[in-house]
Amino acid sequence: MNRRTFLTFSAGATAGLMITPIPWKLTDDASIWTQNWQWNPKVPKRAIYFAEMASKLDPSGSGVKVAVVNGNAVGVAGNVDHPLGKGAVSTMAAAEVGLLHSPARVRQPMLKTATGFKAISWDEAETILTGKLSEARGEVAMVSGDDTGSANEIFAALVNGLDGSFYMMPGETQSAHKALEMMGGEGRIAYDIENADYVLFLGADALESSGTSTRNARVFSETHPTGKAASAKYVYAGPVMNNTAVVCDQWIQAKPGAAATVALGLSRILMDNGAVANAKGFASFKQNVAQGYAPAHVERETGVRADVLKKIARELAAAKRPLVIAGSEFGQGAGARALMASLGLNVLLGQMGQSVKIIPGAPAVVQGAGSESERYAADVIPFLKGVAEGRDGAKVLMVYDANPAYGLPQTQAMAKAMDKAAYTVSFSSFMDETAERANLIMPNSMTAERYDDLYTPHGAGTATYSVNKPLVKSAFDTRTTADVMLSVASRLGMDLGYASFKDVLQAKATRLGASWSSLRQGKAWTSASASSAQLNLAPCAAPAVRAIGEGTLALAPVVKHNIGTSKVAMPPHSAGSIRDTELSGVQTVVQMNAKTARMSGVKAGETVKLMGPGGEMTAQVYVSEKVMTGVVAAPLGFGHTAWDGFSKGVGENAFKLLAAADDPETGLSVWSTNRVTIATA
Amino acid sequence: MVKKASSSGGALPFFVGFVAMLFVGWWVFPQALFSKAEQPIRFSHVIHVDDGGMSCEDCHYFNDDGSFSGIPNTESCAECHSDVMGEDPAEEQFVNEYVNEEKEVEWLVYQDQPDNVFFSHAAHQDKDCTTCHPNMSENDTPPTHYKNVLTGYSNGGYKIVFGRGVGVDPAYSRGTMKMWECERCHAENGQSNACYVCHR
Amino acid sequence: MAGFKEFNIRWSMVVDIDKCTGCGACMTACNKENNIAPQEEAKARLESKGFPTRFKKIEWLTIYELSNGKQGGDHDTAFLPRPCMQCGMPSCVSVCPAIATDKNEEGGIVSQIYPRCFGCRYCMASCPYHARVFNWDQPIFPEGMEKQLTPNVSVRSRGVVEKCNFCHHRLMYAKDAARVAGEDPEKLADGAYMPACAEACPTGAISFGDVKNPEHEVHELAKSPYAFRLLERLGTDPQVYYISKREWVRKQGDNYLESEGAAAHGGNGGGQHG
């Protein structure tokens, strides 16, 4: 072949090429290729189906609908039929589905060895736990952070059967049980916020982190219709203009932990104006309140001006259905006093049985579990302090649905307790600070993957009960802890009366008189029944808890569920909603007003060191008038040392600053009145 | 020089090159451009429709929320096929590998559209299914799935011919449609061609 | 100025600023619904690259915090959630060289077609609301999380602009539901179509509907004497309305002179100062 032949051949080939699809098809396809991004993850093409679930990660227990595509949970929608969700999706419920594949999840049972964690099988894990428990009989302890589940009954029955001790994590539910117990009642406190025309929140961050906040927020929305006049007045008293205060009709500046004193101050004004209550212990209550709590005294103690206090008292007295909801600004550490004082005030306002009801607690169905209030009786703080100091022995310490190594005051001591206990078992779904310190991790399945139930969180309006069933297959080799413990119990030769957790839930439904089949479909059960028992007002006027620490500023920890809860670190899908006023880079931002900053000699943007009775932290200062004078506000939820890249090493943990003090009157530790010192770092 | 020209064969090399390129373009190129795959299970529509007496809507129906059920999942199939019913090896394979293992079948979709396309079956319910899909009810063995390796688009289960299928109404490929096909039908039927009518 | 089409339906959001707690549930719901990849250590990573955070975060909905600037007891705060305004006169559409963004569908939602965008970011520069974000990085989902993508929205690649579209897929779903129920998909009932943020909001601060349909609640709300729109005097004619009974909040919605009072009503269109 010569050159000419080749050229002729090429010319022929080129002519031929023009009438083949090659150039035209390739051009077209190449342009499509550039638009189809085959390197991107692909979305599923199947129809979306919705299944109902009550969020267990959301402390307000809101019911939602989970969007399921092809067996994967892909999203969350509101459920208008659920009494605690009312169609809304709270921050934590919205994030819950996104956590199913969180990088922080524990993927299978893990055993700690000299070189780190080693994956083991469930059978091995159960064998190890059974062995440890039978050796440690009498020195077994368990801590649970699940305030609404029947799983606690199985745990308590097992631990009681081994002569061990069972603790609930401190929080509003424990405070409520203690308050009711001291006042001679039993059950749960219910707030009928739906029908209240005047709501006073004393400290309680009731639209964000306290009680049934999702439901409260929906009721707030209904009583404050957009574009129309409000049908109820909402007032918040607290040190920080938090998420609740910012939308309330009025914000009253009150020092951290002032709820009880303000409630008693209001009671005093009402009684001075002739208010009486036909209740047990009223005389003693009146006498004790009259001895202190004059408006001028309350102003000195709490920062609430006497004229404001009087005005609020007048408005409360004039309202048809007033409601006072009290609590700690950050949901824990108030002990029982705030609640007792507020219950006294509600009784004075004639609202017992009206705005405030006592509703029955969850009936026990597992033999040997004891009653609900018995389970809440013991205070975990002194126990863990004792373990940390080597005073209390715990040969096996088990932790369920809680992260005591992170979310309690004196965090270092609590973390040390995890190290000091001879053998620690964590049932956490996530590699949290407690799991990281555990000898054995037996990961729990998440809400959408397991059977579980939810009975009436603190502050609900009526008794409610929801059952969750597995909506998706477990993402990892995890199991429902309640089922694991039933199996361990039978290995130990104990008969708790049930073969599976599902049977426990079914028994509970029967005890409540609820329909199992409708519960199983995700429909919540509610009951209007309320107790008519009279409360004894005598213990309501207990003396004020002193400030903890010697610092110049009062510390106001702030909880926001997009940053996380004391159990769950910042969910990946919430990371974008963290504000510059909460986190700067990886530094926690604390807020104080201009006057406080001047007094403390610090400037906006400056890095400072906060020193509290529990420990120290560094933070950046943001000057905001949302905080009352003399107070520094610190966000809780940062500073994780475990978890995943979304939360690990981001900011510092403000729990470290806090220290708990004993309150012998109530028997519960308190830590809502900590003081800190500030210095430029 | 003249002599040399005649020895080079005149138009012959041109013709050879022409024919060779036609062969490459119409035979080799399609083989290279399209990958072939068979369905993981030999699903017979004929058996289900003729022998089983099922109607199309038994599996392909609209949900109340307006979504289209599409291809049934293993759970739906297992309503009948919880155990092996017949003697077909494909059914046995399905029960063993998918029903018992609770696994979803990775069906190959002949009309799979890219992620950025929003297609609504509800909006097209007055059209005949076979406007866009091949007539599957007459299908005993699912056709080979030809997939364009460059674009990922399928050819609708028809033999590889560019743009359209063989023996098909030439208007629509019945495979992965390209934008112009959607747009043309919308225009012909007086429907909007605004971006968000089809994209997401 | 070139005119844009008038539509019979005008999907609108009315945000009651006085009811927003700033909790962030809308943002979390939005991120999940629209397959926005979670960003590991988002803030630290972004800030270390030296860009202002607001230009580097991928979020379609942002909540701004407003302050009346006063000290002590007179101080007041408000939260302002800001989605895409779906402007009637969208400046982003005029500047797009690729027609990747357009306002051409009934309902007035400004579309954004990701594969068509080549990342020039003119639209971002032209948007007075900072509603648009650019994918500086390839979206990375933690292992396994890509199984949890919703079928609703395609995943965007590095190098394209994205923005809020009022959860447009939910409009499509609502229309499909209407079709299957035998109803007119162009006459959706109030509440049939609701973006994820409006649905999630615990305090009900976000109302949504067709502002031109008297049967929809937003029809009246947008006429409220307390209603206003952001930077209304630019003439962008946003489809997002805000309501606040506080005058200082309304004044911060636009660049008012010290001596001016805030707009009493948002329905009067823009351009008085043009």
Task: Enumerate the residues of chain B whose CB falls inside 8 A of the CB of residue A68.
Answer: none
What is the chain B residue with the closest CA to C180? B66
Residue C163: exposure state from Cβ atoms within 10 A (0-12, 13-18, ≥19): buried
Residue C269 in contact with residue C243, Cβ under 8 Å?
no
Q: What tens digit of pLDDT does each residue of A217-242 get?
A: 999 999 999 989 999 999 999 999 99
DSSP string of chain B, one letter each residue: -HHHHHHTTTTHHHHHHHHHHHHIIIIIHHHHHEEEE--SS---HHIIIIIS---HHHHS-B-TTS-B--SPPHHHHTTTTTS--SS-HHHHHHIIIIITTT----PPPTTPPPTTB---TGGGTTS-GGGTS--GGG-SSPPPEEEETTT--B-TTS---SSS-TTS-TT--SSSPPHHHHHHHHHHTT----HHHHB-
Reported pTM: 0.92
Say whether residue A31 is in contact with chain C using an 8 A CB cutoff. Answer: no
Pairwise CA distance, residues A52 & A471, whole Å = 9
| Residues within 8 A of C (CB atoms), A 201-220 only | 207-208, 213-214, 217-218, 220
Q: Does C154 touch chain B (CB under 8 A)?
A: yes
**What's the pLDDT band for C112 if we cut at 50, 70, 90?**
very high
pLDDT at B159 > cutoff 70: no
DSSP result, B92-104: HHHIIIIITTT--
Cβ within 8 Å, pair A221-C19:
yes
Minimum CA–CA partner of C64 in chain A = A579
Banded pLDDT at A675 (limits 50, 70, 90):
very high
Cβ within 8 Å, pair C205-A221: yes
Mark out chain B residues that contact chain A at CB-CB < 8 A: 5, 8-9, 11, 13-22, 24-26, 29-30, 33, 63, 65, 67-71, 73, 102, 104, 109, 112, 114-116, 148, 150-153, 162, 178
Counting one residue from chain B and one from chain C, the pairs whose CB atoms sit within 8 A come to 71
| Binary contact (C43, A583; C-beta < 8 A) | yes
How many angstroms separate the CA of residue B18 from the nearest CA in chain A?
Answer: 4
Smallest CA–CA separation between A594 and chain B, in Å? 48
Question: Which chain B residue is nearest to residue A31, measuring alpha carbons?
Answer: B151
| Residue C273: predicted pLDDT | 37
Is B24 in contact with A5 (Cβ distance < 8 A)? no
* Interface size, chain A vs chain B, as Cβ–Cβ contacts under 8 Å: 107
Instruction: Report the SS3 class of residue A535.
Output: coil
- The per-residue pLDDT for B139 is 80
pLDDT at C51: 56
Residue C156 with chain A: CB contacts under 8 Å: 40
Which overall architecture, per CATH, does domain A188-359 show? 3-Layer(aba) Sandwich (3.40)
CB contact under 8 A, A74 and C151: yes
Chain C touched by A431 (CB under 8 Å): no
A456-478 confidence digits (pLDDT tens): 999 999 999 999 999 999 999 99
What was the pLDDT predicted at C42?
Answer: 60
pLDDT at B26: 86
Residue A106 to chain B, least CA–CA distance (Å): 24
Among A218, A573, A629, select the one facing C28 at the smallest CB separation.
A573
CATH of domain A553-680: 2.40.40.20
User: How does the average pLDDT of chain A come out, rounded?
Assistant: 93
pLDDT class for C272, splitting at 50, 70, 90? very low
User: In this structure, which amino acid lies at residue B81?
Assistant: H
Chain B positions touching A19 (Cβ under 8 A) are 22, 25
What's the pLDDT tens digit per position in C50-80? 555 555 678 899 999 999 999 888 899 999 9
Q: What is the pLDDT of residue C235?
A: 92
Determine contact, residues A355/A325, Cβ cutoff 8 Å: no
Instruction: Please tell me if residue A258 touches chain C, with a CB cutoff of 8 Å.
Output: no
- pLDDT tens by residue, A341-357: 999 999 999 999 999 99
Fold of A110-172+369-526: Rossmann fold (3.40.50)
A43, A78, A226 ranked by CB distance to C154: nearest: A43
What's the gap in Å between the CA of B148 and the closest CA on chain A? 9
The mean pLDDT value for C32-39 works out to: 90
Query: Is there a contact between B25 and A20 if contact means CB atoms under 8 Å apart?
Result: yes
pLDDT at residue A438 greater than cutoff 50: yes
Secondary structure (3-state) at C256? coil
Q: Which residue numbers of A have CB closer than 8 Å to B's CBs?
A: 1-2, 4-6, 8-17, 19-22, 25-26, 29-30, 32-33, 35-36, 38, 40, 42-43, 45-49, 70-71, 473
Task: Give the integer Cα–Cα distance in Å for C1 and C6.
Answer: 14
User: CA–CA separation, C274 vs C267, rounded Å?
Assistant: 17
Residue of A1, A10, A29 to mutate when probing chain B, most B C-beta within 10 A? A29
pLDDT, residue C270, reads 38
Q: Which of C16, C20, C23 to mutate to test the interface with A (most CBs of A within 10 A)?
A: C23
Contact at CB, B120 and C113, closer than 8 angstroms: no
Q: According to the model, what pLDDT value does residue A575 have?
A: 85
Residue C274 has a pLDDT of 32
* Cβ distance of C176 and B120 shorter than 8 Å: yes
Residue C268 in this model has a pLDDT that exceeds 50: no
Nearest Cα residue to A446 out of A479, A414, A417, A421? A479
Inform me whether the C-beta atom of residue C182 falls under 8 Å from chain A C-beta atoms: no
Chain C (81-110) residues lying within 8 Å, Cβ to Cβ, of chain A? none
Alpha carbon distance, N-terminus to C-terminus of chain C = 11
Nearest to C141 by CA among C152, C151, C156, C161: C156
Long-range contacts from B180-189, C-beta under 8 angstroms, 24+ separation: none
pLDDT at site B181: 84
| Residues A120-149 pLDDT 10s | 999 999 999 999 999 999 999 999 999 999
pLDDT for A584: 87
**Mutation choice for B interface testing from A18, A36, A472 by most B CBs within 10 A:** A36
User: What is the percent of chain C where pLDDT is above 70?
Assistant: 88
CB contact under 8 A, C173 and B66: yes
CB atoms within 10 A of CB A607: 13
Against chain B, the chains showing at least 3 CB pairs within 8 Å are A, C
List pLDDT tens digits, range A593-632: 999 999 999 999 999 999 999 999 999 999 999 999 999 9
Q: What is the pLDDT of residue C169?
A: 95
Q: Tell me the percentage of chain A whose pLDDT exceeds 90.
A: 84
The answer to whether the Cβ–Cβ distance between C148 and A595 falls below 8 Å is: no
- Residues of chain A with Cβ-Cβ distance to C79 below 8 Å are 246
Handedness of CA A489, A491, A494, A498 (dihedral sign): positive
CA distance B69 to chain A (A): 6
Mean pLDDT score of chain B: 84
Q: Which of B65, B121, B194 sits opposite C104 (nearest CB)?
A: B194
Per-residue pLDDT averaged across A324-344, rounded? 93
Rounded to an integer, the average pLDDT of B35-61 is 89
Any residues with CB less than 8 A from the CB of B184 and at least 6 apart, and which? none
Q: Label residue B146 by pLDDT band (50, 70, 90).
A: confident
- A12, A30, A49: residue with CB nearest B14: A12
CA-based nearest residue to A108, from A468, A543, A435:
A435
Give all domains of chain C, ordered by start, each with its CATH number. Answer: 11-252 (3.30.70.20)
Q: What is the 3-state secondary structure (H, E, C) of A331-377?
A: CCCCCCHHHHHHHHHHHHCCCECCCEEEECCCCCCCCCCCCHHHHHH
Nearest Cα neighbor of C87 from C4, C26, C195, C188 is: C4
Whether residue A525 has pLDDT greater than 80: yes
Cβ–Cβ contacts within 10 Å for residue B25, how many? 20
pLDDT band (50, 70, 90) for residue B87:
confident
| Residues of chain A contacting residue C41, judged by C-beta atoms under 8 Å apart | 586, 645-646, 649-650
Question: In the predicted model, is pLDDT for residue A91 greater than 60?
Answer: yes
Q: Is the pLDDT of residue B134 over 90?
A: no
Q: Sorting pLDDT into bands at 50, 70 and 90, what band is C264? A: low
Q: Which of the four pLDDT bands, split at 50, 70 and 90, describes residue B172?
A: low
Q: B192 and C185 in contact by Cβ < 8 A?
A: no
Residue ranges of domains in chain A: 48-100, 110-172+369-526, 188-359, 553-680
Q: By three-state DSSP, how is residue C162 classified?
A: strand
Q: Which CATH number fits domain A48-100: 2.20.25, 2.40.160, 1.10.287, 1.10.3470?
A: 2.20.25
Chains in touch with A (3+ beta-carbon pairs under 8 Å) read: B, C
Please state, for a pLDDT cut of 70, what percent of chain A lies above it. Answer: 100
Q: Which residues pair with A145 in a beta bridge?
A: none
pLDDT in tens, C183-228: 999 999 999 999 999 999 999 999 999 999 999 999 999 999 999 9
Cα A668 to Cα A661: distance, rounded to the nearest angstrom: 9
Please name the residue that has the structure tokens 């949900």: B63
